[in-house]
Amino acid sequence: MNPKFGASLLSWIPPRWTPEGGLYAIQKTAAAGFDLLEILLPPSMEFDAVTVKKQLADHSLSAVCSLNLPPTAHIPFHPQEATRLIKAALDKTAQLDVTFLGGVLHSGIGVFSGQPRTPEEENTVCEVWADVADYALQLGITIGIEPINRYESYVCTSADDVLGFLKRINKPNLGLHLDTFHMNIEESNFYDPVVGAGSSLKHVHMTESDRGMLGEGNVHWDDLFRALKAISYDGNLVLENFSSAVPGMASAVSLWRPSRYDADELAKGSLAFMRRKVDEFNQQ
């Protein structure tokens, strides 16, 4: 396996894009030794792609983009708004010359119907994803769909959920985006979802079970890296851990206890952990 190592914008700042915060995240990501920054696009799309593209180049960083749908773009309830917003995010992604958009692109986080998803809702999701996949293909962009845990969504909570949709839609530029925090809640293990996805796996959020330092929680990292090696994974491994030392982060991502580490310690320690694990399993 030959992955690229990245840091999420959320490793440095809360999920509220500002030009100053974005530049800070770029500077910190480069200084910590990562290959790329994952830019979480704001739903407002108030984002100066031209300036950010230059800032990334100035710091020798590549990038990927992500988007988490807000409640007003929950696909089963608001398919037209979701389609408009995803296409707007794809436009911003293209303006950065970036070829990947991932994230929670199935539902508004925290939006529930009170029931399991229905066949009608599944049809709506498929229609929206097929539409935006065709649009993305014209821009040379791959879309990765991130399942999240049952306490945040009812639409896609597992790798199998997403893979079932992908098989049904059958678009070459639609793939799976996994997150080990959510996998720790929803999957029975860390090996089978990765191997089952195979080449459909395009992006992985590397997150400990408590959002802290990689290797110090309950995620079964050896099983994950064994699976990544089995599929010869060469996508992105993007750190997404949080520190309460970052102003505004505690309320944004529910860090109700003080973190053991600040953002710099988490980033550098976790990057070293990822590099170690890749080297270890590549040598086996």
Residues taking part in catalysis: 146, 240
Calculate the dihedral angle through the C-alpha atoms of 238, 242, 246, 248, rounding to the nearest 10 degrees. Answer: 110
251 vs 224: CA distance, rounded Å:
30
198 vs 221: CA distance, rounded Å:
18
Of 182, 177, 236, 235, the C-alpha closest to 208 is 182
79 vs 124: CA distance, rounded Å:
7
Q: Record the tokens describing residue 257, joined without a space.
A: 């206890």
Q: Alpha helices of 140-242 — where are they, by DSSP H? A: 159-169, 180-186, 192-197, 221-230
Q: What are phi and psi of 183, to 5 degrees?
A: -60, -40
- Alpha-carbon distances, residue 208 vs 29, 38, 97, 192, 221 (angstroms): 19, 18, 30, 18, 9
> Does an H or E element contain 189, and which?
none
> Distance from first CA to last CA of the chain, Å, rounded?
12
Of 124, 222, 140, 129, the C-alpha closest to 180 is 222
Q: Record the tokens describing residue 33, joined without a space.
A: 């030794």
Residues forming beta bridges with residue 143, ordered by sequence position: 101, 174
Angle between helices 159-169 and 119-139 (to 10 degrees): 70
